[in-house]
């Protein structure tokens, strides 16, 4: 049976998929009959997230090819929005962890309670003017 499905390529954590026509017995990233387009799920800015040759998809469906679930959704999305009209993604914001690393802590402000405990107790007795040994 002939299937129209996604074939993964791209780097680790940066997926890129080719939409291909292949025999369903072939490996996911193996041999294919024809490449029909691509899908870039991490497209940012002016990059094209989806390109598809709809005429060839219809031809292969006429020959008995079955679309995978994800490709079916992509074809519907492409028919609705088109290539240039697909929703553009904005670059993700810098994570809070990276922002926290970039902030500098003032000298002496370590936030360690054990260091601050005895000093504050001595400071309180000195400021109040009371001395425990004076009684």
Helix (H, G, I), strand (E, B) or coil at 34: strand
Decide if 38 contacts 18 (C-beta within 8 A). yes
Decide if 33 contacts 20 (C-beta within 8 A). yes
Q: Give pTM, 2 decimals.
A: 0.61
In the chain, where are the structural domains located? 2-81, 96-125
Mean pLDDT of the chain: 79
**The pLDDT of residue 69:** 94
CATH superfamily of 2-81: Ribosomal protein S16 (3.30.1320.10)
**The pLDDT of residue 12:** 93
Residue found under tokens 């904005």: 90
Percent of the chain with pLDDT over 70: 61
**The pLDDT of residue 107:** 65
- Residues whose CB falls within 8 Å of the CB of residue 90, separated by 6 or more in sequence, listed in order: 44, 45
pLDDT digits (tens, 9 = 90+) for 52-96: 999 999 999 999 999 999 999 999 989 888 775 555 555 556 666
Q: How many whole angstroms separate alpha carbon 36 and alpha carbon 20?
A: 6
Give the DSSP H/E element, type plus range, for residue 127: helix 113-128
Q: Could you count the other beta carbons within 10 Å of the beta carbon of residue 43?
A: 16
């Amino acid at each position: 049976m002939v299937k129209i499905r996604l074939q993964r390529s791209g780097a680790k954590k940066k997926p890129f998929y080719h939409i291909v026509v292949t025999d369903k017995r072939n490996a996911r990233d193996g041999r294919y009959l024809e490449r029909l387009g691509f899908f870039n799920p991490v497209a940012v800015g002016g990059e094209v997230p989806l390109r598809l040759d709809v005429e060839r998809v219809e031809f292969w469906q006429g020959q008995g090819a079955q679309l995978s679930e994800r490709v079916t959704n992509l074809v519907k999305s492409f028919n609705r929005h088109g290539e240039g009209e697909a929703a553009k993604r904005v670059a993700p914001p810098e994570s809070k962890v990276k922002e926290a690393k970039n902030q500098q802590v003032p000298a002496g402000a370590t936030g360690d309670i054990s260091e601050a405990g005895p000093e504050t107790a001595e400071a309180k007795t000195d400021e109040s003017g009371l001395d425990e040994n004076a009684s």
